Amino acid sequence: MAEEQKVIPPNVTVVGKSDLYFQHIISHLRNRNTRQSDFKEYVCVAGRLLAQHTISRLPSGCLTIETPLKQTQGTFLSIPNDVLLVPVLRAGKGLVSGFSVPFKELFSLPFKELSEEQSIKVGSINMARDEETLIPTEHDYDIPNHISDYKIFILEVVVATGGTVKATIDRLVEQGAKQENIHVICVLAGNPGLIHIYEYYKSVSVLVGDIDEQVNAHGFIVPGLGDAGDRQFGPKETL
């Protein structure tokens, strides 16, 4: 059974293993001595790196172009019309600013003719997990209407049991989102949580910086990085 747990689901792409800079950022996030203000900055940088890896996996095609010297083949991305970022609050909020930057650049580069319909929207879902049962409860939901054609990116710093992300996908699908248009983006994940998501949503892709094998009895991945919400914004009691 332990060996089966190590099998990464086929809908998951791990990008941090081959990215030394990403490993550097993740190591600072894991370090318990990283200050809160620095932790928030590292989360932002991780969001940007995740976006760059996400963009590099968009559909692409070749077109014949002319350089000043000769004709050659150029590679161009197929850029989606509508992008919806859905941070899972609290922790996922810290990824938004960094993740948005490469997409805004992509949408505004001079060789691309923007249509009036093209946009990047940011929604949010506030899910709080019961510390004893580990069952998520929705406290707030702010998502645009008519999302069936959006390419949706769920942003979460850590996916542990997968329950919160699965509940988030449930709500988006209920509102009309297509499973194949939903992408889970996270810095770290526990393999049990990734397996849980795949059991319910095989068409939802997951892009993650790195994977930890163990999830402890308190619902934290190990070695992990602790509570990403508390480490960014302080304990909930002080809010």
Domains parsed from the chain with CATH numbers: 2-57+80-234 (3.40.50.2020)
pLDDT digits (tens, 9 = 90+) for 1-43: 344 447 899 999 999 999 999 999 999 999 999 999 999 999 9
Lowest-confidence range among 2-11, 86-95, 113-122, 202-211? 113-122
Q: What is the mean pLDDT of residues 175-181?
A: 95
- CA separation for the pair 111, 38 (Å, rounded): 36
Buried b (16+ CB within 10 A) or exposed e, 79-101: bbebbbbbbbbbbbbbbbebbbe
pLDDT at 142: 84
Range 92-108 average pLDDT: 90
| pLDDT (0 to 100) of residue 2 | 42
Look at residue 109 in the predicted model and tell me its pLDDT.
67
**Which band of pLDDT confidence, cut at 50, 70 and 90, is reported for residue 89?**
confident
Return the percentage of the chain with pLDDT > 70, whole number. 87
Range with the poorest average pLDDT among 22-36, 74-88, 134-148, 210-224:
134-148
Q: Are 194 and 159 in contact (CB under 8 A)?
A: yes
Task: Give the pLDDT band (50/70/90) at residue 52.
Answer: very high
User: CA-CA distance, 200 to 26, in Å (whole number)?
Assistant: 28
Confidence of residue 239 (pLDDT cuts 50, 70, 90): very low
- Quickly state the pLDDT bin for 132 (edges 50, 70, 90): low
Lowest mean pLDDT among 39-43, 125-129, 162-166: 125-129
Question: CA-to-CA distance for 224 and 181, rounded, in angstroms?
Answer: 28
Q: What is the mean pLDDT of the chain?
A: 89
Q: What is the pLDDT of residue 133?
A: 66
Q: What percent of the chain has pLDDT over 90?
A: 71
Region 195-218: mean pLDDT is 95
- What's the confidence (pLDDT) of residue 118? 59
Report the alpha-carbon distance of residue 226 to residue 222 in Å, rounded: 9
Other C-beta atoms within 10 Å of 72: how many?
10
For residues 168 and 206, give the distance between their C-alpha atoms in angstroms, rounded to a whole number: 14
